[in-house]
Structure 1
Amino acid sequence: MGHRPRTPLALRHRGHRRPDGLDLSHHGLCAGLLFALRRPANRRAPMGRKCLPLGNRCPSREQPTGKPMNPIFETSGQICQCGRVTKGRSRTGCVLLPLMLLLAGCASVQPKPGGTEAVVEQWLAAPYAPTFTVRDTESSLGPYDPHTKSITLRDLVKFHGHPCDGLVTAACALKVGLQELYPEGVVDRTDTGGISNNSPCFGDAVAFVTGARIRFGTQKIDPSLGNEFILYRFSTGKAVKVALKPGLFPAEVAALEAKIRAGQFNEGEMRRCQRLQWEFARGLLERPWADSFSVTPLNGFVWKPDGYEHLGPRGDVINKHFGRPQERRPSP
């Protein structure tokens, strides 16, 4: 009967993974290596001859015990370098060092968090990384969903496309302002309007967190706003203005941003600007939001949608109060 050589433990254990990320599971091995390891050596070696220690060639690969030949380890624990079998069906020998080199070449290396993903992980681990609990309707024509959702910085980055200081600035500012409009802690994304400047970061954050949209008249752009936001709750008529406190934004970042936008920069300046932006964002997440932002109530504020040719009503909120008559209010 043929005998199958024992596969080394590191290869038999499918979950084995080295600290450097090298995957030694069967999924990470190339087909040729698996074929060589699994092909049976179906002959017993005649008794009376030994395999030689590492560094000498064994002409016959015979073992004194008459036990099935092991293509990697001799019965005494010494390594056999023999590459052939003298009797029976021949097979490709396995040599330990080339085998390990082949493993290194064939194994799949799992990527580790790095680049922008590492930045996002640092942000999420910061003590004041904002998280928003929001409520929406449960379908296109349905009532409020009884369950809420959670929005994190990671979700914002996915929506916006990249991590940046503007996105973090907006997220922290929105957190401060929405706490004033929704002291109960759940933001109604069918009942909130937002105004920011035309920054890609600021506008995206307002739309995603509040549910506001220009085409529905619930999001507005005001170029006169700097690092400022106006938030409005339609059902209560309450509005607040949130602003980054003066002197917090680094002057060097502002200068580098202006230089880069003008097209007068080199790669080193671009990379430095990026690094300083991320450091500024991380700083906002390391301290209480009230240390970085001020909130001002806007009494008597009147919401007026921006002019837009295709402005129309939002159809997926028209039945949001269905089954809850005590809360019926006109939708924005």
Structure 2
Amino acid sequence: MTKNSLYALLMLIPLFGCQSVANKQVDKDRIVIEEKLPIIKVLDTDFSKGRLTLVHEINLHDLEKFHGHLCDGLVVGFLGIQEGLEVLYPNGVIDRTNTRIVSKSSPCLTDVAIYVTGGRYQYNSFYVDDEIQNGFYIIQRKDNNESVKVQLKKGVKPAQIDVLGGKAILGDLPPCALDTLKFLEDEFSKKLLSTNPKENFSITKLKDFKWNPILKNTYIKTDIINKNKSKCTK
């Protein structure tokens, strides 16, 4: 090895050392974030014809991969369904084989409902209904028909998100305004994740809820409407 090449190698060592420290800090930050993520425990059968013994832990990262992205709707759905299931299953473990759910048609809310509960229309454990009043989920236990409605409390969600969101659904939001909407949604998500869910959601027990599956396939998937929108150039 020449003197110059040895010198070059010695110069790289501190760089790699700094990189290692930086990576360790990133990993440390990631661990802290992971520890703060809400978790829902669910109970499943242990194989294709198995017994009800397998426990899984579901978090927002799991949902993000299933849904395609992380957004405020996913956070609202996850925290809301967690609160509702806590009432139905006070022991903390949700029996997926004993749960069914009705959801409003939001792509985010429906994906949370399906993923967390395991509900499917073909098994009579999930359907969509935008006629739910003052709420976005109705969750029911099959064994005793105990049902709850999940609602985001008034004033929790910034009104500007719905204003801009409505324009985005119509395709009328310019590129830079679309970025503003994303920023507002991200800030709202952070707020929800950093506060007690009981401050943001209300759970109502329903005495006479009738399970009435509706089959409809004309809902608009609002999270892909602007997929070809140009980037903000400002």
Taking structure 1 as the reference length, what is the TM-score of the superposition? 0.56
**Structure 1 partner of 2:110:** 203
**Structure 2 partner of 1:251:** 159
Partner SS, residue 50 of structure 2: coil
**Structure 1 partner of 2:5:** 94
Equivalent-residue separation in structure 2 for 1:123 and 1:197 (angstroms): 30
* Alpha carbons of structure 1 residues 102 and 172: separation in structure 2 relative to 1, 3 Å: closer
Q: What amino acid is the match of 1:148?
A: V
**Structure 1 partner of 2:44:** 136
**Structure 2 partner of 1:237:** 145
Looking at secondary structure, tell me which structure has more strand per residue: 2
Partner SS, residue 279 of structure 1: helix
Equivalent-residue separation in structure 2 for 1:123 and 1:205 (angstroms): 21
Are the counterparts in 2 of residues 131 and 151 from structure 1 also a CA contact under 8 Å? yes
> Tell me, which stretches of 5 or more residues in structure 2 are unaligned?
24-29, 217-234
The answer on 1:182 being equivalent to 2:89 is yes
- Structure having greater relative contact order (Cα 8 Å, sep ≥ 6): 2
Are the counterparts in 2 of residues 193 and 212 from structure 1 also a CA contact under 8 Å? yes
**Structure 1 partner of 2:196:** 288
Partner SS, residue 235 of structure 1: coil
CA RMSD, Structure 1 to Structure 2 (Å): 3.1
Q: What amino acid is the match of 1:173?
A: G
Aligned residues: 210
Equivalent-residue separation in structure 1 for 2:158 and 2:108 (angstroms): 18
Equivalent-residue separation in structure 2 for 1:265 and 1:101 (angstroms): 51
Looking at secondary structure, tell me which structure has more helix per residue: 2
Equivalent-residue separation in structure 1 for 2:200 and 2:56 (angstroms): 26
Are the counterparts in 1 of residues 102 and 127 from structure 2 also a CA contact under 8 Å? yes
* Alpha carbons of structure 1 residues 244 and 265: separation in structure 2 relative to 1, 3 Å: same
The answer on 1:260 being equivalent to 2:178 is no
Equivalent-residue separation in structure 2 for 1:231 and 1:163 (angstroms): 23
> Tell me, which stretches of 5 or more residues in structure 1 are unaligned?
1-36, 38-70, 73-92, 113-119, 309-332
**Structure 2 partner of 1:56:** none
Between the aligned residues of both structures, percent identity stands at: 33
Equivalent-residue separation in structure 2 for 1:102 and 1:289 (angstroms): 48
**Structure 2 partner of 1:163:** 70
- Measure how far apart 1:302 and its partner are: 2.3
Q: What amino acid is the match of 2:80?
A: A
Q: What amino acid is the match of 1:249?
A: K
Partner SS, residue 154 of structure 1: helix
Name which of 79, 83, 104 aligns with 1:172: 79
Partner SS, residue 224 of structure 1: coil
Are the counterparts in 2 of residues 123 and 282 from structure 1 also a CA contact under 8 Å? no
Partner SS, residue 45 of structure 2: coil
Are the counterparts in 1 of residues 39 and 59 from structure 2 also a CA contact under 8 Å? yes
Taking structure 2 as the reference length, what is the TM-score of the superposition? 0.78
